[in-house]
Amino acid sequence: MNKPLRRVALAMMVMVVLLMGNATYVQVIQADELREHPLNKRTMYEEFARERGQIIAGGQSLASSVPNNHDRYKYLRTYPNGPLYAPVTGFYSFFYGSNGIERAQDKILNGTDDSMAFDRLSDMITGKAPRGGSVELTINPAMQQVAYDQLTSKGFQGSVVALNPSTGEILSMVNAPSYDPNPLAAVDNNAVAEQWNKLNNDPHQPMANRAVSEIYPPGSTFKLITAAAALESGYTPSSKVQDAPFITLPNSRTPLPNYGGKQCAGNTLTDALAHSCNTAFAEIAGKLGVDKMRQTAAAFGFGQDLQIPMTVAKSDLGAMSDAASLYQSGIGQRDVRVTPMQNAMMAAAIANGGKLMKPQLVKATRAPDMAELDTFRPEEMNQAVSPEIAQMIRDMMIQSEKNTKGEGKISGVEIASKTGTAQHGDVKDQPHGWYVAFAPAEHPTIAVAVIVENGGDEGAEATGGSIAAPIGRAVIRAGLQGGG
Please state, as a whole number, how many other Cβ atoms lie within 10 Å of the Cβ of residue 61. Answer: 14
Rg over CA atoms, the chain: 27
Judge contact between 399 and 417, C-beta under 8 A: no
Active centre residues (catalytic): 220
Task: Give me the phi and psi of 181, to 5 degrees please.
Answer: -70, -20
Judge contact between 439 and 232, C-beta under 8 A: no
Judge contact between 385 and 354, C-beta under 8 A: yes
What is the β-pairing status of strands 170-176 and 246-248?
Answer: unpaired
Please state, as a whole number, how many other Cβ atoms lie within 10 Å of the Cβ of residue 253. Answer: 6
